[in-house]
Chain A
Amino acid sequence: MEKFTTHTGVGVPLRRSNVDTDQIIPAVYLKRVTRDGFEDGLFSAWRNDPSFVLNNEAYAAGSVLVAGPDFGTGSSREHAVWALQNYGFKAVISPRFADIFRGNSGKSGLVAAQVDEKVVQRLWDHLEQNPGATVTVDLESRTVRAGEGVDAIEDSFDIDDYTRWRLLEGLDDIGITLGNEADIASYELTRPSWKPATIHAG
């Protein structure tokens, strides 16, 4: 995984709450067996609507998505994260993320930055008044920034310490866990014999 320290890119105001993973990428697009190429399914139903934010030239090259609360609810499909990344998004800002989506983001290197609802409102207003304006997501200082001068927006965001550390270092979870293989092996020795198995010896 690539290291993530800070990113500045065009902010996309998505004025919606409860953006579920079926909206981020509908099931028909989940049939690929690779991790790439999912950008064509991103928000596919909404992209038919000419007034949808990503159909506006100014936001089309966006890399920081600013969404309402309960972003990523629904299915566990990591394809939702891949679709956002394949499109070019590096970070999503929302007042509240669904658990599985947030977990998947952390594993794939997409920053899910949780901010106060008021910050999202201010970012939406700023990005709509200044189409194409950028937003900075600074993982080191855990801050989001946008705008300049008196109207500048700057606030902290939440992300758990462990995920932040892994993203900053670009570390792969499986490698870390296999470093503790001995713990797993000794745990396995203590499991009761009556626990079920799917394959039986002999």
Chain B
Amino acid sequence: MGRTLSEKVWDEHVVRSKPGEPDLLFIDLHLIHEVTSPQAFEGLRMAGRTVRRPDLTLATEDHNVPTVDWDKPIADPVSRTQVETLRRNAEEFGVRLHPLGDIEQGIVHVVGPQLGLTQPGMTIVCGDSHTSTHGAFGAIAFGIGTSEVEHVLATQTLMQAKPKTMSVTINGSLPAGVTAKDMVLTLIAHTGTGGGQGYIVEYRGQAIEELSMEARMTVCNMSIEWGAKAGLIAPDQTTFDYIEGRPEAPKGADWDAAVAHWKSLVTDEDAEFDAEIVLDASTMTPFVTWGTNPGQGVPLGSAVPHPEEFEDAQDKVAAEKALQYMALEAGTPMREIKVDTVFVGSCTNGRIEDLRLAAAIIKGHKVDQDTRLLVVPGSVRVRLQAEQEGLDVVFKEAGAEWRGAGCSMCLGMNPDTLEPGERSASTSNRNFEGRQGKGGRTHLVSVPVAAATAIRGTLSSPADLSPVEPVETTN
């Protein structure tokens, strides 16, 4: 019988396999950041161990760094200690680090692909659950805890039980104005937050093939939000074109050998998945969340649901608690919900295509007077590219805040947070209670919805915007 894509990649990385034990998997790339690594390095130090493969390890600073005044010392002493600890560890153990101020600094899942380090058929891990992002290239990529970070540092391997396989086939084409983010939010609402539990998922079908590389990353990024171990997409010409010419991409004869191998990384015709889901992209619409987990979402055109609508008793209770936390009344049209802050950024939607899309919608408009728009590029490179294209000017003229690179308001860990009771429309990936700051209320949205919402002040899509008046010229 044939094998699925994920089985092929898995099998290529098995260092040791014994019945009754997890497989020992070789790890091709280990990404590190300041929050989940200090205890791992400390563990190495205490045991007198070294980093086995510094040449397969890359560190950057992203979670707790400020996105303004990044050239000044970090004001929060505890954050500063964490960043300084990473710098000391990188130096001591010989790990390549892109610190704040470096041109390659940024969110770890934006930096890897951008450097060309993320390639098909790899195993990639990081002490961060959104490592699944890298699956967009046909890699097995997943988040690990700090004990596992230490294990990878010491051995360049991980013990892993082989997950089951699932295919998510998305047929048809996305309608205009509907994005990869809407697609994945629709999927999660369909499966629930535990639906992918125990599976490596392969996203396939026409709608997936039609996505750009960056949009594929958005889909794979949110695999963890429905519980999947990892999510991946078979590499194709779109993938190869994205990688070619990047700083760490193979060159010359190596490139040819690599591409020849990558082309074999597809699910065989006769392979079988343990589970299958099929969805139709052509019926999808802009999708937003109303609750406190990413599965609690509805089309933008509908209303906040009634807890009674849920069959499952647990779901009912969860919905009641969520509505209470979100201060929402069942039956309220989603479009009537007023937001205070709009956040465009994160490893889900903080890449150059996202910023181009946001700028195209915002151009010529003004941000609503009661709303704040924060645009945070995923990396320094993305920021510079956007500035080269003049996108920063579009944002600033509309009244938005144009920031430095980092995780920013995706998680309440750096200075960018919501105030208690504040409501946001956010292009990030989690709407958990307090995720963006204690007491903050988050609606997950796509980039077009975020941009339109910033202009109108209520959850909106670009279709709700009045046309921009032609600018008068004096000559």
Residues of A within 8 A of B (CB): 15-18, 20, 22-23, 26-28, 30-35, 45, 68-70, 73-79, 81, 96, 98-100, 103-104, 107-108, 160-162, 173-174, 176-178, 180-181, 183-184, 187-188, 191-200
A104 to B127 alpha-carbon distance, docked (Å): 11
Contact B78 A31 (CB under 8 A): yes
B258 proximal to A (CB < 8 A): yes
A78 to B103 alpha-carbon distance, docked (Å): 30
Contact B36 A77 (CB under 8 A): yes
How many B residues are at the interface, by size bracket? Answer: 35 or more
A residues less than 8 Å from B15 (CB atoms): 180, 183-184, 187
Contact A96 B194 (CB under 8 A): yes
In the assembled complex, how far is the CB of residue A85 from the closest CB belonging to chain B, in whole angstroms?
12
Contact B317 A177 (CB under 8 A): no
A194 to B22 alpha-carbon distance, docked (Å): 28
B274 proximal to A (CB < 8 A): no
Checking B85, B148, B293, B412 against A18 with a beta-carbon cut-off of 8 angstroms, the contacting residue is B293
A99 to B302 alpha-carbon distance, docked (Å): 33
The 8 A CB mask of B43-71 against A (1 = contact, 0 = none) is 00001010010111110000110000000
A residues less than 8 Å from B254 (CB atoms): 193-194
A174 to B305 alpha-carbon distance, docked (Å): 48
B residues less than 8 Å from A108 (CB atoms): 145, 147
Contact B151 A76 (CB under 8 A): no
In the assembled complex, how far is the CB of residue A179 from the closest CB belonging to chain B, in whole angstroms?
10
Stretch at the interface among B116-124, B326-334, B335-343, B393-401: B116-124
A residues less than 8 Å from B412 (CB atoms): 26-28
Q: List 10 A-B contacts (CB under 8 A).
A: A17-B314, A23-B433, A31-B82, A70-B193, A76-B131, A98-B227, A100-B129, A107-B145, A108-B147, A174-B47
Within 8 A of A (CB), among B123-149: 127-129, 131, 142-148
Contact A184 B145 (CB under 8 A): no
Contact A107 B148 (CB under 8 A): yes
A34 to B57 alpha-carbon distance, docked (Å): 22
Contact B197 A98 (CB under 8 A): yes
Contact A104 B261 (CB under 8 A): no
Contact B64 A31 (CB under 8 A): yes
Contact A192 B28 (CB under 8 A): no
The 8 A CB mask of B75-119 against A (1 = contact, 0 = none) is 010110110010000000010100000000000000000001101
B residues less than 8 Å from A27 (CB atoms): 63, 411-413, 435
Contact B57 A33 (CB under 8 A): no
In the assembled complex, how far is the CB of residue A13 from the closest CB belonging to chain B, in whole angstroms?
14
Contact A183 B145 (CB under 8 A): no
A197 to B161 alpha-carbon distance, docked (Å): 26
Contact B438 A26 (CB under 8 A): yes
A103 to B158 alpha-carbon distance, docked (Å): 11
Contact B434 A78 (CB under 8 A): no
Closest to A104 in B: B145
Contact A30 B96 (CB under 8 A): no
Q: A33-B38, A107-B147 are in contact. Are A198 and B58 (CB under 8 A)?
A: yes
Q: A31-B82, A33-B81 are in contact. Are A26 and B157 (CB under 8 A)?
A: no
Contact A76 B193 (CB under 8 A): no
Q: A26-B438, A69-B194, A174-B151 are in contact. Are A195 and B122 (CB under 8 A)?
A: yes
Checking B57, B64, B224 against A198 with a beta-carbon cut-off of 8 angstroms, the contacting residue is B57
Contact B432 A23 (CB under 8 A): yes
A64 to B116 alpha-carbon distance, docked (Å): 46
In the assembled complex, how far is the CB of residue A186 from the closest CB belonging to chain B, in whole angstroms?
8
B residues less than 8 Å from A162 (CB atoms): 20-22, 159, 161
Contact B314 A69 (CB under 8 A): yes
B residues less than 8 Å from A73 (CB atoms): 193-194, 227, 293
Q: A70-B227, A74-B430, A178-B155 are in contact. Are A22 and B145 (CB under 8 A)?
A: no
B452 proximal to A (CB < 8 A): no
A16 to B248 alpha-carbon distance, docked (Å): 46
B residues less than 8 Å from A26 (CB atoms): 412, 434, 438
Closest to A26 in B: B434
Within 8 A of A (CB), among B190-237: 193-194, 197-198, 224, 227, 229
A147 to B363 alpha-carbon distance, docked (Å): 66
In the assembled complex, how far is the CB of residue A8 from the closest CB belonging to chain B, in whole angstroms?
26
B residues less than 8 Å from A181 (CB atoms): 155
A196 to B250 alpha-carbon distance, docked (Å): 7
A residues less than 8 Å from B182 (CB atoms): none
